[in-house]
Structure 1
Amino acid sequence: MSVKIGNIDLGSFPLLLAPMEDVSDPPFRYVCKKNGADMMYTEFISSEGLIRDAAKSKQKLDIFEYERPIGIQIFGSEIESMREATEIASLAGPDLIDINYGCPVKNVACKGAGASLLQDIDKMVKMTDAVVKATKLPVTVKTRLGWDDNTKNVEEVAERLQDVGIQALTIHGRTRAQLYKGNADWTLIREIKRNPRIKIPIFGNGDVDSPEKAAAWRMEYEVDGIMVGRASIGYPWIFREIKHYFETGTHLAPPTLEERIDACRTHFEKSLQWKGPKLGVLEMRRHYANYFKGFPDFKQYRMLLVQEDNIEVIYELLEKIAEIYKYNYPTEAIAY
């Protein structure tokens, strides 16, 4: 049976790319889509930024046809601002609008947005209701288990947000207090999935970093799909590897050196196209170490890549890296 959000058919068990600030931009989304991500989201966008027409917020609205289905994720602390931001985001033509009630970082949560709303469920419900009424698109939500261990209220959140019209819920298996530390706990996610009142798709998020874990947690926690975040950074192949494991029970061979170089080069090209030469070069620097994680003696080449401003020289460096590793290191020497 297919998982559906409104009229969006996501197949029998979708793999979602998490919205990650400073990561989930169009260049990164491109390489993840090529490797099997079923649905993706923009980086989270400030409702206040959209209303003020802030350039950074507006640029995050950029979506491309090949990315579909894709959701625009917004966050904010004021109900009216979120309503207005929903109208603006809807005009950008996404397939759905997603509300961030999960971001734990201080400059979001301490301003009354993101995971902060877990401390005021009544306000969260009113805000969600306003967003649902402001768009014809499906509205979904991403949140956490609760603010801290003493206030794990996501079961109430799931019921009340479904009642005001959300069409899917993604739950990160940590509290706000945990940030990204400790282990994600999906037991409450399973309880919500088993709740006979809950009819919308429930997606699990947090710590899925291997095909085996995805397969085990799919069965153990009974979710409708899995959202992958940090494990996809520098490793977009995680999506195809999970799907292969679901279908066959066997491991797909890891990406070859050529595939790694190709993905890095493609990411770089898309970064230049979307951000322009100066910013494209600059922002790609955070990704090199991730693409070549596990390569022996890579530090010297990473230093060259992150210090270089000339686009042609960067391409030449990538070619040189490909040649050096192809001839000097057997595949088994690279710890994936």
Structure 2
Amino acid sequence: MKIGSIELGETPLFLSPMEDVTYKPFRHICKQHGADVMYTEFVSSEALIREVDKTRQKMELFEADRPIAIQVYGSNIDSMVRAAIAAEEFQPDFIDINYGCPMKKIVNKGAGSGMLQDLDKMQKMTAEIVKAVSLPVTAKTRLGWDDDSLVIQEVAERLQDVGIAALAIHGRTRKQLYTGEADWNRIAEVKNNPRINIPIIGNGDINGPEKALACLKQSGVDGLMVGRGSIGRPWIFNEIKHYFKTGQLLPPPTVAEVVHRLRDQLQQSIDWKANERSAILMMRRHFAKFFPGLPDFRTHRIKLLQAVELTDLQQILNEIVEHYGHLRVDYTNVSLK
């Protein structure tokens, strides 16, 4: 698979762009554990062109990230073009347009998956961005606004016609948010559309190697994108690759191994933020996902989510190793909800 001139190999694994998740330390951990392609957190076009410091920090890129895209969202065509030009200055490998975010605060402004209600504007915006930048432009979207407007085939054709280099599809409508199951048959229909010749990347519900292979066989997509399944399990990419190569599942990590990896992510977050408390708060979403299925673990999880001092957090992790260190963490029935 290629995006522009970027060779990504066969069935590359993409880390999905996620707000407050795919910041630099998490990207680095996922890259260490087999992710092939990265995205920044999604960036507001309006904030970017106003040079909001927090927004520009999201676009700090590092060689270990590559290949990586900066993803931008917005509803104003001129602002989106200016944002794409500004993003290009940070030298990503490609620019990605967010036509898929279902969050109410974004959709209500006509951005993200809100654009699925105005395909003419979506096509025009994409065309203007492609013309304005020299880097490849990709997009990420959903099947449609709701079950009565499953427009993904038309979206794929329109965006390909104006020059996007690849399309990532989350197999849900905007109305579904993250409920129900992702529809990989709809993604397969786009991949098998004889008019489509750009790479198609499938996204939705990949929570382990066996699910990844099933989705790949069902859809025939060029690449797979993992989102929520990587939170608390950033090594999922290596697990998938090993399964694809050997047909064998890697043994689940022990609690002691998970704690070691969690400490690594935590320390990288502290180094990046240069503020222990901010880094710990940033990590809370990850803490909630790191130890699924352990017996009588609720008290320890609450402590993890309430800690604000590094010394307290390290003590809690020591206690977890002491109580559970020999057990293996079973991700078999983990819900992505």
1:177-326 residue pairs with structure 2 within 5 A?
177-277=175-275, 278-326=277-325
Structure 1 residues 188-197 or 145-154, which shifts more?
A: 188-197
CA–CA distance in 2 between the matches of 1:335 and 1:71?
Answer: 32
CA separation of 1:286/1:208 partners in 2, compared to 1, >3 Å: closer, same or farther?
closer
1:1-336 matches, within 5 Å, as 3-277=1-275, 278-326=277-325, 330-331=326-327, 334-336=329-331
Shift of 1:88: 0.9
Q: Which digits, 9 at most, give the CA deviation of each residue in 1:78-115, with x for residues without a partner?
A: 00000000011111111110000011111111111001
TM-score with structure 2 setting the length: 0.94
Deviations 1:128-160 (A, max 9, x none): 011111211110000011111111111111111
What secondary structure sits across from 1:272 in the alignment? helix
Q: Structure 1 regions of 5+ residues with no counterpart?
A: none
Q: Which runs of no fewer than 5 residues in structure 2 stay unpaired?
A: 332-337
Give aligned-pair identity as a percent: 56
Query: Aligned partners of 2:68 and 2:260: how far apart in 1?
Result: 24
CA shift, 1:59, in A, is 1.4
CA contact (8 A) 1:237 1:255 kept: no
Q: How well do the aligned residues superpose, as a CA RMSD in angstroms?
A: 1.5
Counterpart AA for 1:288: F
After the TM superposition, which segments of 4 or more aligned residues of structure 1 sit over 6 Å from their partners?
none
Residues 290-312 of structure 1 deviation map (CA, whole Å, 9 limit, x = unaligned): 11222223332333333333323
Alignment CA distance shift 1:37-1:302 (3 Å): same
1:324 to partner: Cα distance: 3.0
The 2-side partners of 1:317 and 1:53 are apart by: 39
Amino acid at match of 1:331: L
Q: Which amino acid aligns with 2:306?
A: Q
CA deviations over 1:221-253 (Å, ceiling 9, x no partner): 110011011111101121111111111111111
